[in-house]
Amino acid sequence: MRVMLVNPRFRLPIDTRTTPHLGLAYLAAVSERRGDDVLLFDADVENESIDEAVRRLQPDIVGITANTPQVKSAWRTAKAIKSVKDIPVVLGGPHVSVLPAESAERPEVDVVVRGEGEDVWVKLCGIVENGKAGNPNFAARDLLDPAAGLLDGLLGISYYTTDQKEHHNPDHPPIADLDTLPFPAYHFFKMDRYTNLQPATDAIDGARSFSVMTSRGCPYRCTFCSQSIMPIKWRARSPESVLAEWQHLVENFDAQEIGVLDDSANIQVDRLEKIADLFIEHKVNHVPWIFVNGIRANLATKELLGKLKKAGLKRTAFGVESGDPDVLLSIDKKIDHDTIRQAFKNAKSVGLETIGFFIIGLPGETEESMEKTIQFACEVDPMIANFSMMTPYPGTKVYEIAKRQGRLLLDDWEDYVFFDGRARYELGDMTAEMIERKWKEAYRRFYLRPHRVAGTLMRKDFWINWRRTFKVAFNTLFPKKEKDELRKSVEAEAAV
Ligand code: B12
Ligand code: SF4
């Protein structure tokens, strides 16, 4: 079968990096293992439109990924595909997992896959393949024919049959043993068209950079985090499986840097220690790698971090979120400031670069609590401080709070991004003006301290990336009406 996987076009309002989509890379890998011809269409790097590609490549099924700001683009993509042919069009990803009915009811979408996708996608492709075996003209309407009942037993999907009946089949169980998954199939991506996730490697912008997930899920349930839509059970790959993927990336793809995307990589400390030992023993520790997303500060001991540093770890992030103890308690992060202080000290003492993630505008915040966040950021002083304005994503507790008790300032999924300098909701005395002012102040005060300015100017990668850095800084502090222009241009492209 010819299966097409699509990352719909979505550009953030600032110039961010472009990386291959790991979820699609996994889906491509399981499709390849099934024996399918895989066609990967990442609209961020393609030169042709989706309908041209569909006409040229003639897929039998198309899977489109969608996070919240991408979902409208996913619908436009689905529509464009349907204008060519009535192929089964499937949507998956974080947004549609939370709000499946919203997409399933659209005429251009046939099936929504909720949650972890590999097993469901493979089974769905099997169903379509069987349908085609019995009927070469098999189309989406045949898949959704209530009399045929082809989708009746498939767990984890939502869809409307052609009699307009809504179906939400029960959830599919999460993959129990992640080691059974093939490695992400990067060979289907046009790798030379991507930048890197975060330049860990000084002096090599656009280094050959790959993402790896060594575990999935997170046992915590922070009130602002969309992770709460994924299975609560934390599952990890074996150290041997992680080593094998690492060797594959280093030897077959000449990886120059690797970003570990786990939500909570260090839940089992001995597993990470074993991974570090294996990297050292098998001499893959010369390739720098980073924890892109943050590891749990309460489990970041000096011993563990020291070992990881020897294994090639260059940079780690910690999710701090707030400098105010009451706010920190209220978001269920289950951590305290002394533990966070210690984690930053541990990381710095073993020579790791650090990133701190901070949020301005959590529920219950006041000007004073935001002030404490800025002060705490300056105190722990990570190499990179990332301040985001609280954006309440559907499915999170903060979204429910903002909707019920506050005032959501968003009515378009395409606005659900962090970077365009506008507050997303108001709650009690916390106004949009206050959030926006303190957010800008956070960046100014953190980065314009004399020792930071001097330190930044001394960094080699600053001089390599200075044009981009200035552009990002300028757009962050002086966001303009460019978001509307951006949307117009994306929609104009989609209309072509
Ligand atoms: C790495 C990452 C990024 C990277 C790269 C994104 C990329 N190209 O993959 C960058 C930094 C660019 C990024 C940006 C953003 N991100 Co991000 N990101 C992640 C992160 C940490 C890992 C993504 C990943 O690789 N996961 C592992 C793979 C295996 O999972 P997956 O992609 O979800 O795919 C699986 C399923 O969802 C499903 N699936 C997905 N697509 C499809 C399609 C089909 C057809 C099927 C059947 C199944 C299916 O099957 C896949 C395999 O199991 C996640 C957190 C997380 N744990 O997932 C957040 C996350 C996806 N990001 C999030 C957000 C909010 C954003 C931004 C909007 C933030 C912003 N800056 O404003 C932007 C949007 C950028 C954009 N252009 O779309 C949220 C999404 C919430 C939501 N409701 O949409 C998440 C969940 C973080 C969180 N916990 O809140 N992100
Ligand atoms: S913020 Fe981190 S620790 Fe909290 S739920 Fe999300 S992934 Fe887990």
pLDDT tens, 321-372?
999 999 999 999 999 999 999 999 999 999 999 999 999 999 999 999 999 9
pLDDT tens, 238-279?
999 999 999 999 999 999 889 999 998 988 999 999 999 999
Q: Whose CA is nearest to atom 85 of ligand 1?
A: 226
| The domain defined by 196-464 carries CATH number 3.80.30.20 | yes
Q: Where in the chain is CATH 3.80.30.20? A: 196-464
Which of 119, 261, 390, 490 has the most ligand 1 atoms within 8 A of CB, as the residue to mutate? 261
User: How remote is the CA of residue 489 from the centroid of ligand 2, in Å?
Assistant: 34
User: How remote is the CA of residue 19 from the centroid of ligand 1, in Å?
Assistant: 11
| Closest CA relative to residue 44, chosen from 189, 206, 188, 249 | 189
User: How remote is the CA of residue 12 from the centroid of ligand 1, in Å?
Assistant: 14
Does the beta carbon of 222 lie inside 6 Å of ligand 2? yes
Architecture of the domain delimited by 2-168? 3-Layer(aba) Sandwich (3.40)
The per-residue pLDDT for 496 is 33
Q: Where in the chain is CATH 3.40.50.280? A: 2-168
The per-residue pLDDT for 490 is 45
Q: Which atom of ligand 1 is nearest to the CA of 19?
A: 8
In this structure, the residues whose C-beta lies within 6 A of any atom of ligand 1 are 10, 12, 16, 19, 21-23, 26-27, 63-65, 67-70, 90, 92-95, 113, 116-118, 121, 213, 225-227, 261, 263, 293, 393, 417-419
Low-confidence ranges of the chain (pLDDT < 50): 203, 482-483, 485-487, 489-496
Let me know how many helices (H) and strands (E) the chain has, helices first. Answer: 19, 17
Angle between the N-to-C axes of helices 118-134 and 22-34, in degrees from 0 to 180, rounded to the nearest 10:
40
Per DSSP, the three-state class of 255 is coil
Q: How far is CA 286 from CA 70, 211, 283, 316, 478, in A?
A: 36, 17, 7, 17, 40
Q: Which atom of ligand 1 is nearest to the CA of 98?
A: 83
The per-residue pLDDT for 101 is 98
